[in-house]
Amino acid sequence: MPKQSDLFFAGGAGAISQPKVEAYDASGLVLRDGTGPLPNFTMDEVTGHRIGGFLRVTWKGSFSAAPTGSGNWNIDIGSMGVTLDETRLGSGAYSIKLGNILARDGGATLYGVASYTSSNFVQFLVQHDSPFSGAAWSQSYGSFTSGDTVSGDLYFPVVGWSESELVSTFATQQKAYNGITSPTTITASIAPLVYTNEEYSEGSITYSGGDFTVNEAGYYQIEAFIQHSGSSTVTLYTFVDGSAKQRNQTSNLGYSFIYGTYYLNAGQTFGVRANCTPNATVTASNDTNRITIKKLL
């Protein structure tokens, strides 16, 4: 990973000039159960960086015993000493995704998203429903006990940290494709999703055989969507350098999606794979089958 002093945007077509990254003390971050700290949970690691007008935070905590209570889990942005700037989230501020959640529940891995759902709060949503509107996440989502962990990342604009860019347009490297060449039928075997038509391209990201290759180190936001016959349970996977990193499963919906943010080094590859039971036929439509990759910082 590059040094903080090396993390800045160079000039060029479509590039956004930014100051260097600065460390930020976000150690006050608290995982909450409704209105108070989540019982029996300790925040073990919190790392914050200011990137121009944005705050990037990664965190991880663990349980000393099973959590109690029944409230939905969330994070109070104010616990880190800042206020989220709604005006720079663009339209639909209260439904925009600001990060990812991953939990280890015994031998199971649970996935979710951090969605801005109320003033200066980020709620956890189960990543199994339509984008940005999944079911709220509480301890009933898993059977957490001593030693289990929850981790995540957040990336959002901060009041008083002056910038004019919207989250949705903050990129110097990006590429998008629509339409799917293969597979025409999703089976039980995990196979790459190969998208057909390039919509736009900026920077040096390349795409071949279902995999993107990035040529600059940094954090990349990935989104993929596919439409298919509806009577199946379909799982999409993100792969980095041929290894699975994340999954999202949908049942009987007629569409599937996956999205996330990853740190990639120059030369690393990223792609989306799929499998399902029973087989599902891909609906060949340029308007619905789409994949995008965008460099955030």
What residue segments make up the domains of the chain, in order of their start? 19-167, 171-295
The 10 Å Cβ neighbour count of residue 243 is 8
pLDDT at position 284, please?
66
Q: What is the mean pLDDT of the chain?
A: 76
Check for a shared fold between 19-167 and 171-295: no
- Top pLDDT among 41 and 296 is at 41
CB burial of residue 11 (10 Å; 0-12, 13-18, 19+): exposed
User: What confidence score (pLDDT) does residue 15 get?
Assistant: 36
Q: Is the pLDDT of residue 61 over 80?
A: yes
Tell me the per-residue pLDDT of 244-253, one tens digit each, with 9 for 90 and over. 887 777 777 7
Q: Give the confidence band of 28 by pLDDT, cuts at 50, 70, 90.
A: very high
Percent of the chain with pLDDT over 90: 12
Reported as a pLDDT band with limits 50, 70 and 90, residue 213 is very high
pLDDT at residue 49, rounded to an integer: 85
Identify the CA nearest to 97 among candidates 53, 132, 123, 129.
132
CATH fold for the domain made of 171-295: Jelly Rolls (2.60.120)
Per-residue confidence at 291, pLDDT binned at 50, 70, 90? confident
Q: What is the pLDDT of residue 135?
A: 61
CATH architecture of 19-167: Sandwich (2.60)
Rounded to an integer, the average pLDDT of 132-138 is: 57
CA–CA gap between residue 243 and residue 269 (Å, rounded): 10
